Chains A and B, each alone.
Chain A
Amino acid sequence: MKVLVPVKRVIDYNVKARVKADQTGVDLANVKMSMNPFCEIAVEEAVRLKEKGAATEVVAVSVGPTQAQETLRTALAMGADRAILVQTDQDLEPLAVAKVLKAVIAEEAPELVLMGKQAIDGDNNAVGQMLSALLDWPQATFASEVTIGGGKATVTREVDGGLQTIDVTLPAVVTADLRLNEPRYASLPNIMKAKKKPLDVKELGSLGVDTAPRLKVVKVTEPAKRSAGIKVETAGDLVSNLKTAGVL
């Protein structure tokens, strides 16, 4: 079974995003970038499937600028076999990313797409579901456990207030939630080995996909600021303040 893992290069999760003064977006100049945390979980799960013998090949794919090759090298160092970059400097919307991935899937024919549930930049939580809809494949989102067998994936999903288990016939799209696993750190020998693994670069234009934006960004602003409140001296003061504030 071939597993395709889409990964995204995003601002590192420990870095605070700062809005540009001209309100056109978030300032990413000289900011540490990393693999989206949910994508790391997806890569880890795909590599574990291979280690268990359930997968034969893990292919990482990213849609983004040339620097996204670093993100793909991280996936290779974690254990992916090869990587594909669909190179573009456009900031694509989720629907466009899903269409690009569909085009890659038409060439690669994986039986499973395993990807993060959302990227921590746009926070849209949409590409996996959209890809599954465009492919007419079943979807299993927010996975906390994935078992492969008998031409299907049995997926335990994080739902409001608990867990749901569903069976999806392969090929399918599965999106990873936090509890699926704890991603490994790539070891130095594996980082060295990853440099020699194949990384294929395609120009976005070569795929013939309509990626025109549907949304115009009017402005990006700072959220309403919270100011520090008061320090109280005792637990009793705290309770009386909370009663005055009307929250107790």
Chain B
Amino acid sequence: MAVLVIADHDNATLKDNTHKVVTAAQGIGGDVDILVAGTNVAAVAAEAAKIAGVRKVLTAESAELGQGLAEAVADLIVGLAPGYDAILTPATSQGKNFSPRVAAKLDVAQISDVTEVVSADTFTHPIYAGNAMETVQSSDAKKVLTVRPTAFKAAAEGGSAKVESVAAPAAPAKTKFVDQKIVKSARPELGAAKIVVSGGRAMGSAEEFQKVIEPLADKLGAAVGASRAAVDAGYAPNDYQVGQTGKVVAPELYVAIGISGAIQHLAGMKDSKVIVAINKDPDAPIFQVADFGLVADYKAAVPELMSALG
């Protein structure tokens, strides 16, 4: 048995998601290798080699791999697939982009967003935005999975795997990279943040949303989220949306301010470790999932919270 883990990185640093997917791979069993595909990835590969229990780290470099073009990354992985029984990718937007392509080229199913490795061929993953957990057994010879990193503990460091380079595939003929705008926000990314502060329709305006939610998020070092109602009303941009049709988050701490807790919002945040709700309506459904509820008007409660945080 051998498992290939596709590293999550930005060509400069290795992301912790990789360590978490290595843990999932170890649950399947056998040798675990890591593939680092990108440009100038020597430093990233050196970090990956330190993850305990890894047999080797493969590197492949080309401009298209660095740009993350799905056709290039998938071709590379399909070329390496004969040596592996399972291919595990973090369920990031980058991983979700190329992994199904790999599965189709190998004529196997993909199991998406795996949250538990039951055995080498049986896996659990959320369906219906986490309102149900489905356990499936795969009859395919090779397993192709995307793994939800928040569901696994990070593998420890302390290893010293060897690093080998493999040839990059030819550049895709029909896809060309134009440009990329990565927001250099001081705030963490919504999907990966340890703390998320979200605002709802109670904010009443975009100005109020910025005035109330953003300073609190910055004080906590948190990402900013919003309910669909707040997004639909134009108080927050669409990429802030937490919920069934937006982003699914599972931070250590989720602070919901002026959010009633519609089903579709709960679906996006109920796996958070600790949930705080501030709402003036004591019957709001959000309180049914909140660990700590404060029945208060956010207009008074948020300034008090800011000063209590010091």
Chain A interface (Cβ < 8 Å from any Cβ of B)? 11, 13-19, 26, 37-38, 93-95, 98, 120-134, 137-142, 154, 158-169, 172, 178-179, 214-223, 226, 228-236, 238-239, 241-242, 245, 247-248
A238 touching B292 in the complex, CB below 8 Å, given contacts A223-B133, A248-B253: yes
Closest CB-CB distance, B106 to chain A, in whole Å?
9
Closest 6 CB pairs of A and B: A229-B291, A235-B304, A129-B100, A17-B128, A130-B104, A162-B182
Interface string of B55-91 (1 = CB under 8 A from A): 0000000000001111100100000000000000000
Question: 1/0 per residue B261-304: CB within 8 Å of A?
Answer: 01110000011011110000000000111111111100001001
CB distance from B269 to the nearest CB of A (A): 10
B93 contacts across to A, CB distance below 8 A: 142, 158-160
Instruction: Find out whether the CB atom of A230 lies under 8 angstroms from the CB atom of B292.
Output: yes
B136 and A217 contact, CB distance less than 8 A? yes
| Contact across chains for A133 and B132 when beta carbons are under 8 A apart | no
A138-B175, A215-B109 provided; 15 other pairs, C-beta below 8 A?
Answer: A16-B263, A17-B127, A124-B112, A133-B101, A159-B68, A159-B93, A159-B182, A164-B177, A165-B177, A214-B139, A215-B138, A223-B126, A228-B287, A230-B292, A242-B253
Chain B 101-142, CB-CB to A under 8 Å as 1, else 0, gives 111110111111100001000100011111111111111100
- Chain A: CB-nearest residue to B106: A133
Q: How far is the CA of A168 from the CA of B69 in the complex (A)?
A: 11
A162 and B252 contact, CB distance less than 8 A: no
* Chain B contacts for A218, CB-based, 8 A: 118, 122, 135-137
Instruction: State A137–B129 Cα separation when bound (angstroms).
Output: 29
Query: Secondary structure of the B side of the interface?
Result: mixed
**A-B CB contact pairs (8 Å), 25 listed:** A13-B264, A37-B245, A123-B127, A129-B70, A130-B110, A133-B105, A139-B101, A142-B93, A158-B239, A161-B189, A162-B182, A167-B175, A169-B173, A169-B174, A179-B238, A220-B134, A221-B135, A223-B131, A226-B288, A231-B292, A235-B305, A238-B276, A239-B305, A242-B274, A248-B253
Interface pair B109/A93, CB less than 8 Å apart: yes
Known: A238-B308, A248-B253. A120 touches B245 (CB 8 A): yes
Q: How far is the CA of A21 from the CA of B287 in the complex (A)?
A: 26
Q: Closest approach, in angstroms, between the C-beta of A89 and any C-beta of chain B?
A: 19
Given contacts A120-B128, A238-B294, is CB(A247)–CB(B195) below 8 Å?
A: yes
Cβ–Cβ contact B292 & A229, under 8 A: yes
Is B244 at the interface (CB under 8 A from chain A)? yes
Residues of A within 8 A of B207 (CB): none
**Taking A178-B245, A238-B308 as contacts, is the C-beta distance between A232 and B133 under 8 angstroms?**
no
Please tell me if the beta carbons of B263 and A133 are within 8 angstroms of each other in the complex.
no
Which residues of chain B come closer than 8 Å to A236, judged between CB atoms? 304, 308
Cross-chain pair count, CB within 8 angstroms:
256
Bound together, the chains give a CA A140 to CA B309 distance in angstroms of 44
Interface residues of A, dominant DSSP: mixed
Are the C-beta atoms of B97 and A129 separated by less than 8 Å? Answer: yes
Which chain B residues border A178 with CB–CB below 8 Å? 238-239, 241, 245-246
Q: What is the bound-complex CA distance between A144 and B103, given in angstroms?
A: 25
- Whether a CB of chain A sits under 8 angstroms from the CB of B94 is yes
A130 & B100 in contact (Cβ 8 Å cutoff) = yes
Contact across chains for A26 and B239 when beta carbons are under 8 A apart:
no
Contact partners of A230 in chain B: CB under 8 A: 291-293
Q: Give A235 to B295 CA distance when docked, in angstroms.
A: 10
Residue of A with least CB distance to B191: A160
With both chains docked as a complex, state the minimum distance between the C-beta of B128 and any C-beta of chain A, in angstroms. 4
Asked whether, in the complex, the Cβ of B109 is within 8 Å of the Cβ of A242, the reply is no
Give Cα distance in the complex from A220 to B101, angstroms: 26
A152 CB to nearest chain B CB (Å)? 8
Partner of B69, one of A133, A166, A239: A166
**Bound complex: CA of A44 vs CA of B176, how far in Å?**
26
Given known A-B contacts A129-B97, A178-B241, A219-B135, A247 and B129 have beta carbons under 8 A apart: no
Q: How far is the CA of A19 from the CA of B33 in the complex (A)?
A: 37
Given contact pairs A95-B103, A165-B180, A229-B292, A222 touches B133 in the complex (Cβ within 8 A): yes
Residues of chain A within 8 A of B111, CB atoms compared: 215
Q: How far is the CA of A122 from the CA of B128 in the complex (A)?
A: 6
Instruction: List chain B residues, Cβ under 8 A from A127.
Output: 100
Instruction: For the complex, give the distance between the alpha carbons of A98 and B107 in Å.
Output: 11
A172 contact set on B, CB distance < 8 A? 174
Contact flag A129-B104 (CB < 8 Å), given A167-B175, A215-B111: yes
